[in-house]
Amino acid sequence: MRFGVLGPLAVRSPDGRPVRVPETKVRTLLAVLLAAEGGPVPAARLIEELWGPRPPAKAPATLQTKVSQLRRALESGEPGARRLLTHGPAGYRLGVDEAHVDAADFTALLARGRREPEPARRSALLGRALELWRGPAFADFSGEPFARAAAARLEEQRLTALEERAEARLELGEHRALADELRETVAGHPLRERLRAVHLRALYLSGRQAEALHGYAELRRRLAEELGADPGPELAALHTAMLRQDPALAAGRDSAASRPPGLGAKARPAIEPATEPATGRGSADGAPRGNLPAPLSDLIGREAAVRELTALLRDRRLVTLTGPGGVGKTRLALETAARTEPPPPDGAWLVELAGLDRDGPGARAGAACAPEVEELVAAALGLREEPGLRPPTMPRGAVPGRLLQALRGRRLLLVLDNCEHVVEAVAPRVADWLRALPGLTVLATSQEPLGIEGETVWPVPPLELADAVELFTRRAVAAGAPAPDRDPDPAGPDPAADREAVATVCRRLDGLPLALELAATRVRALGPRELAARLDDRFGLLDLPRRGGPARQQTLRAMIDWSWELCDGTERAVLRRLSVLADGGGLAAAEAVCSGDGVSRGQVAGLLARLVDRSLVQAVRTPGGTRYRLLESVAAYCAERLRETADPAEPARVRARHRGHFLTVARAAAPELHGHRQCDTLRALDRETANLRRALREAVADGAAREALALAGDCAWYWYLRGRLREGRRWLALALEAAAGTAGTAGTAGTAGTDGGGTAREAAEAAVWQAAFSLLIADRETAAAEAATALAAFTARRPARRGRGTAWAHWLLGFAQWGLGGGREPEERVHTALAEFRQAGDAWGTAAALTTQATNHLFRSELRPAEAMAREALALFTELGDGWGVLQASSTLSGVAEILGDYTEAERLARRCVTIAEELGLRAQLSEELSHLGRLAMLRGEHAEAERLHTRGRDLAREDALAGSEQYAEIGLALSLRRRGDLDGAEPLLLRWAEPDRRLSAWAGLALIMAELGFVAELRGEAAEALRRHREGLEAAVLTRDPRAVALACEGLAGAHALAGRPETAARLLGAAAARREAAGAPLPPGERADVERISARVGAALGAERFAAALRAGRLLPTAALPGLPGGSPGPRPPAGPPAGPARQGAHRA
C-alpha cells in the first residue's frame, strides 16, 4: 500500500487502486500519523489535533472509534494492513515502510541526485523526484499546526531540487528552455538567491543580457527594501561577470567547475534529506573528504611507485618517503594519497610543515616547536576548540588531547610534508597518535627518517632516463621551446643530436625532477646541445671540493646556482627576500618584503613574472588572488643567500618589513571581523595564518615587544572565531614575556615602558585577552585570579587604541567567565560594560553585552528580558553586518520561541543560524543548531527526523572533539529515543554525561539528565531508582535558579511518587511544577505534555477529581525549600551536590 502527502492526501492499494478513507476526522488522523514519520503520537496530542480546544465529552473513546475506522479503511486496501496502526506506551504509531510514502521517495531521489556527479543523470534523478509532487505538501491540511513544519520542510526541499536540477540542465546546455521555465518560479520566490542566480545565468547565456541585468537590479532593490540587505557575494560575482561579459560564463555552461563560487550543485548543505543515517563524513557526491590540492600537471614516471605505495599503505600505518630535495617526494605523496584504495572514509589530509622556520632568528627548531606542529595539524583538519566542557574520555591537557579525542574512531590518512627540519617535534607526536588511534595512517615526506617504531622508510628514486626525458621535453615545450617534431636547435637541423643532448642533460641532472624543470626553461634560449655543453662546463667546476653533501644534492644545488647566476641583481634581491614569506603571499606582501634597498615597489610585479617564467617562483591561483611562493628546495637556497648577502643588516630589514606588512594586515582586518566583510576577512586571514605566525615568532625573537603585543591583540578575535583558543593564549603569553624582558618594561601589564606607556598599554590589552582565553578553556585553577589582575591593570592604564576602554575589558572577561562560577561577578561585569558601551555610543559593544545578558536571562527562564535584549542586539548586529553576532542573538530568540511553543519561528531562526554558522565555519554552533532543529522535530513528534539531525550534530561535534556540542546532541538523541519508547537506547547516552556534569557543577545539564534518567526508571516500573534520580535532579535544578528546570524535576518526582503509591505527594508536586511554569510565562507547549499527561492520568485515577484538584492547589503554594525531595521536604536520601558554582557551559543553552 502506498501513501501520498505531496499534494492532497492519497492512499492506493498495491495494484494502484485508490483507497477511500472516509470522513474528515479519520483523514486528519491518518495525516497526523504520516507526519510523525513512523514515530508514536500520544493520544492526547491526537485528540488536540482532531478536535482542538473543544474535544468531545468522551474524547479517548471517540478517538478509539476513529482509529477503528482508519484500520478498516487500511484493511480494505490490503488484507492485513490494519496491523500497520499500532498502540504502545508512547502512543499510536503507523508502521509504514518509508519506501511506501511519496515524501520518503522524494527525499531518497533528491539525495541520490545530489550525489550524482554526471549532470545528465543528476537532472534525470531530480526530475523524477519533482514528478512525485501533485500539489502543495499536505494540501488538505495546510492550516493545521501538525502539518505546517513538515510541509515547510518538504517545500524547501522541493525548491532545492528544482534549483539543483536547473543547475544540472545549465551544464547540459538547456539555458534557453530554463530562461522561460523559471520565470514563474522566480516570481513566486523573488528573494531566493540561488534560484535567481541560475535564472540570471540562463537569461545571459540565451543572449538576453539586458533581462539578466534587470533581474539582478530588481533583486538588489527588493533585498534592500524588504530586508535591508545586499545580494550575497556569489550573486555579486555573477553580476560583475555579466557586466564584463566574462567568457568563462559561456565557456563553463557545460562544466560544473567553471560556475561562480557558491552556485554549484556540489556544495553540501548542513541540512539535507535523510535517506540513510547521517554520519557527517564524506562529501555530498560521495567523494572522500580531505584537503589535498588539485595537481597542476601530470605525474610522470611514477606509476609503479604509486601502485607500490598504495599497496604498502593498506598494510603499514607509517610510511616515510625519503630522498634529497627536488626528487619529487611531495608530488609522489600527494598522488599516492589521492589514489589510495579503498579511500580512507574520513579523508586524506595534507599538513604542510615547511612554513615552520628551520633556522635563523626566532627559529624554534626541534622539540621546542611541538605546539606549532600540533596547531598546524589541528588547523589542517579544521579542528576548532570549544569553550568549557571536555568529553568524558578526554584528559585535561592542551592540543594533543584534543587531537586524540577528535580523531578517535576515525579512519583517515595524514600526509605530513617536509618533516626534516622538525623531526624532533614530529616523531614523538606521530608515535603517540599511532599508538592511540588505530584508524590513523601517516604518509610522511622527509630528507631523513622519523626513526620511530613501526616506520617503513621508502627512498624515492630519481626518474628513469626515459621518464626524465619525457618530463624534460614536456616542460621545455610548456616554457616555449619548439615541439620535439620540429628542429629546436639554432645550430642546424640534427634531431638525433638533439635527442642525445636531451638524454645527456637528463643523465647529468641525475633524473631529479626539480633540476630537470629548472633546466627545461633554458631550452628556448639555448637549445638542447648548447644547454648540455654548458652543463658539462658547470659540473666540471663542481668536481672541485666545494660543498658537502650527497652527489644528488650537489646536482640540484648546481642547477639552482646556475638559475641564480642567470638572474640580475634585482631578480636575486626579490628571490632571497621572498624566502621570508611562509607559504608564499599575494602581490601586496611580495611588494612589501621585496621592495627597498635598490628595488622599487613598482618593479616587483614585473620581476615576479620573469621569475615565474624561469620556474624559480610559482604563481598559484587562489580564491583570494594570485599567490607567489618558492618551492621548498628553492626557498631553502634563497634563505641561505639572504643570510649570506653582502649587507649584513639586510636580513633584519627584510624581516622587519615582513612583520610590518602583516601587522598592517592584521590591524586592518580586526575591525572588519565585526562587520559586513566578516566572512571574507576570516578567509583572508586563514590564507595568511602561516605568515602571521612567522611574524609573531620573529617579533618575539627580535625583541620587538610592542609589535608582538599589537599583532597578538589584533589576531585575538580571529583566533576566537576560528576556535584556536590555546594557540591564541600561547602567542599572547609569548608576546607578554617579550614585553616583560624589554628594557623599560618592568614585566607586568601595568608598568609603563620608556615609550611613554605604549608597550604597557598593548600589554594590558594582551593580558585581558590571555585571561579571557584561559577562562574560555575552563582553566579554573588560575583563570579567575588572572582575569581579576588583568582587569585591574587594564583599568589603571585605560588604553585608548581603537577606542578599547574598560567597557570592552569588562564585557570580554564577563562573557568568557560566564558559566564557570564566580558568583555574580560575570553578570556584574557585563552589566557595567553595557552601561559604558551605551554611554560611548558603541553599537557593537552594546549588541555584544545585550546578547550575553539575554543568554543569561534565558538560562533562568526570564523570557521577556531575554527576548527584548536579544531583539535589540539582533537589530544592531544586522545593521553592522556581523554574522557572528546575528547568530548569537538569533540563537537566543530561537530558544525563547521554542520554550513558548512557537516551533515554526524557532525553526526559522535555527535554520538561519545554521546558514551563518556554515558560512563562517563555526562548527560548534553548526553542530548545536542542527541538534536544536532535531529538538524541534522531536517536539513536533517527528522522531526519525529528530534522530537524524541529532546524529548529524553529534558527528560534527565528534570530528572536532567539541564536548559541549556532543553532549547537547547526545542528550537530544536520548530525549527522542525515550519518547518513542526506546529506553535501552536512551539510558546509556544519558549516563555517559552525568558524571562530567557533576564534576563541573554543570547543574543545568545535570538537572535535565537526571530528570530523563528518572523518567526511564519510572517507565520501567523502578520506583526507588526513579525517586533517587529525580531527587538528585531536583537539587541540581534548584542550583540553576531556573524555574523551568525546577518544574521539570517536580514533574519527574511526581511520576516516581505516583508509581510508589503516594499519589497525594505526586499531585502536590504537579501543582508546584505548574505554578513555576506559569510564573516563568512558559506553560508546557503541546510537544512537551506527554509525561505530565501520563502522570496526571495515574494520579487522577488514584485520587479522584476532587482530591486531585485540592492537592494541586496545595502544591502551587509550596515554597522551593519545602518541595518533597529536598532537605526539609519529604524524607529521602540527599544526592551528592557539586561545588557551589553557576551552571557550566553546556555547548547550548536550551538544556
Which long-range contacts (C-beta less than 8 Å, at least 24 apart) are formed by 125-128? 126/161, 126/162, 126/164, 126/165, 126/168, 127/165
The pLDDT value given to residue 401 = 64
For cell 525515550, name the residue: 978
How confident is the model over 856-868, as a mean pLDDT?
A: 90
Please name the fold of domain 173-267: 1.25.40
Beta pairing partners, 443: 319, 415
CB 752 within 8 A of CB 760: yes
Give the phi and the psi of residue 729 in degrees, each rounded to 5: -65, -40
The pLDDT value given to residue 361 = 34
CB 325 within 8 A of CB 553: yes
| Cell numbers describing residue 826 | 560575570
> Does pLDDT of 685 surpass 70?
yes
Does domain 1-170 bear CATH number 1.10.10.10?
yes
Taking residue 1140's Cβ as centre, other Cβ atoms within 10 Å add up to: 10
The pLDDT value given to residue 484 = 59
CA distance 887 to 870: 11
pLDDT tens digit sequence for 727-767: 999 999 999 998 887 644 433 343 333 344 557 888 989 99
Percent of the chain beyond pLDDT 70?
86
Tell me which of 3.10.20, 1.25.40, 2.40.50, 1.10.287 is the CATH number of domain 984-1122. Answer: 1.25.40
pLDDT tens digit sequence for 819-829: 555 567 888 99
pLDDT tens digit sequence for 605-659: 999 998 887 778 888 887 778 899 887 778 888 998 999 888 999 999 999 999 9
> Does pLDDT of 837 surpass 80?
yes
How confident is the model over 438-449, as a mean pLDDT?
A: 91
| Cell numbers describing residue 750 | 601595568
CA distance 333 to 398: 30
| Cell numbers describing residue 363 | 627559529
> Does pLDDT of 487 surpass 50?
no
The pLDDT value given to residue 566 = 82
Confidence of residue 237 (pLDDT cuts 50, 70, 90): confident
Percent of the chain beyond pLDDT 90?
40
| Cell numbers describing residue 292 | 589535498
CATH number of 569-642: 1.10.10.10
> Does pLDDT of 956 surpass 80?
yes
pLDDT tens digit sequence for 363-412: 344 555 777 888 888 888 877 766 654 444 444 444 456 677 778 778 89
For the chain, what is the mean pLDDT? 83
Lowest mean pLDDT among 151-155, 733-737, 1134-1138: 1134-1138
pTM over 0.75: no
Please name the fold of domain 303-459: Rossmann fold (3.40.50)
CA angle centred on 1090, ends 1075 and 150, rounded to 5°: 115
